[in-house]
Amino acid sequence: MSELIVDGLTVRFAGLTALDAVDFAVPEGSVHAVIGPNGAGKSTCFNVLSGVYRATEGSVRFAGAELTALSPHKIAALGVARTFQNIALSSRQSVENNLMLGRHRLTRAGFASAGLRLPRARREDARHRGRVREIARFVGVSEYLDAPVGMLPYGVQKRVELARALAMEPSLLLLDEPVAGMNGDERRRMAEVIVAARADLGLSILLVEHDMGMVMKLADRVTVLDFGRRIADGTPDEVQRDPAVIRAYLGAAHTVDAGELAVTGETAADAARQKAEERA
């Protein structure tokens, strides 16, 4: 029922095909990764799934609905929550307030009664704050609840963003590069939270990530995109050994500039190098 099914998804921008008839499915409760070199179409795919971009062709089905016809608001209401490649939080607001914003779609009392401080609105507010504290504990940011997000270390901000998505009580979580720019320790903590989100909350997770170690450790299946086309789909082990995947990443490793190497190209190049060594 709440399997995500992406079927023939195509997105064209003036003259550029960012996604070209892409298919994949994410069964309920599974972790599915979408990987590929820079510009492969991964974020475009997320933007269609969350209603930010319109599909040119194809369909995306989830929870009995056709998502390509819906607004971001309606998609969120179906239980699809996302994080962004670049942090999208209100940096001056406290962690708690950012998480409360995540609960907006679940708030019944509405602004009018909340403004009048009716007892029902107060009770509802207290209930939401209680749940927000639980979620903060779950992702390990309890100690920062009162701090403005902008003051926190990068790795903590990324966990707050995940917490904001969880605050929407989603059944499908879209994570766009959750560990990009993090150090080893921050990566490990984020990986633990993702594993727990799946195990304890039973969520389906769609993960875009350049860190191959993370992908291999977390994902049940992997879809590989290159220039908008699906070039492979399988278990982490299968796609790692796929010659088309290795070619795509080797090509990318040769064209990344020095600045990019530190963040993304290196992991891609490492994966390709490791593959080459295994073959030798």
Ligand X SMILES: Nc1ncnc2c1ncn2[C@@H]1O[C@H](COP(=O)(O)OP(=O)(O)OP(=O)(O)O)[C@@H](O)[C@H]1O
The residue within the footprint of ligand X, chosen from 6, 9, 18, 193 (CB under 6 A), is 18
Binders in 33-52 for Mg ion, by CB under 5 A? 42-43
Tokens encoding 219: 């994902």
Q: According to the binding rule CB under 6 A, does residue 256 interact with ligand X?
A: no
Q: Residue 195 CA to chain centroid, in angstroms?
A: 14
d(CA 227, CA 211): 19
Q: Which is nearer to ligand X, 77 or 216 (CB)?
A: 216
Residue 263 tokens read as 């963040």
Q: Is 36 one of the binding residues for ligand X (CB under 6 A)?
A: yes
Rounded to a whole number of angstroms, the minimum distance from the CB of residue 185 to Mg ion is 24
Q: In what order do the strands lie in the sheet with 204-208?
A: 80-82, 172-176, 204-208, 31-35, 221-226, 229-234
- For the beta carbon of residue 189, count every other beta carbon within 10 angstroms: 18
Q: Which of 32, 42, 159, 198 binds ligand X (CB under 6 A)?
A: 42
- Nearest approach, Cβ of 221 to ligand X (angstroms)? 18
Smallest gap from Cβ 85 to Mg ion, in A, equals: 5
Site size toward ligand X, by CB under 6 A: 12
Q: Are 58 and 21 in contact (CB under 8 A)?
A: yes
* Nearest approach, Cβ of residue 29 and Mg ion (Å): 25
Q: Which of residues 83-112 bind Mg ion (CB under 5 A)?
A: 85
Q: Which stretch binds Mg ion (CB under 5 A): 12-20, 77-85, 120-128, 225-233?
A: 77-85
Within 10 A of 75 (CB to CB), how many other CB atoms are there? 24
Any long-range contacts for 258-265 (C-beta under 8 Å, 24+ apart)? 260/38, 263/180, 263/181, 263/210, 264/38, 264/180, 264/210, 265/38
Q: DSSP label at 148?
A: B
* Identity of the residue, 59 or 85, whose beta carbon is nearer to Mg ion in the bound complex: 85
CA–CA–CA angle 30, 33, 35 (5° rounding): 170
- DSSP-derived 3-state class of residue 17: strand
d(CA 50, CA 238): 28
**Contact region with ligand X (CB under 6 A), list: 34-42, 101-109, 181-189, 211-219:** 34-42
Q: Which of 8, 29, 39, 234 binds ligand X (CB under 6 A)?
A: 39
Q: Which is nearer to Mg ion, 43 or 240 (CB)?
A: 43
Q: How far is the CB of 45 from Mg ion (least distance, A)?
A: 9
Which residue in the set 2, 38, 93, 107 belongs to the binding site for ligand X (CB under 6 A)?
38
Angle between helices 243-255 and 266-279 (to 10 degrees): 130
Q: Which is nearer to Mg ion, 103 or 187 (CB)?
A: 187
**From residue 63 to residue 102, what is the string marking binding to ligand X with x (rule CB under 6 A)?**
----------------------x-----------------
Binding site for Mg ion (CB under 5 A): 42-43, 85
Site residues for ligand X per CB under 6 A: 13, 16, 18, 36, 38-44, 85
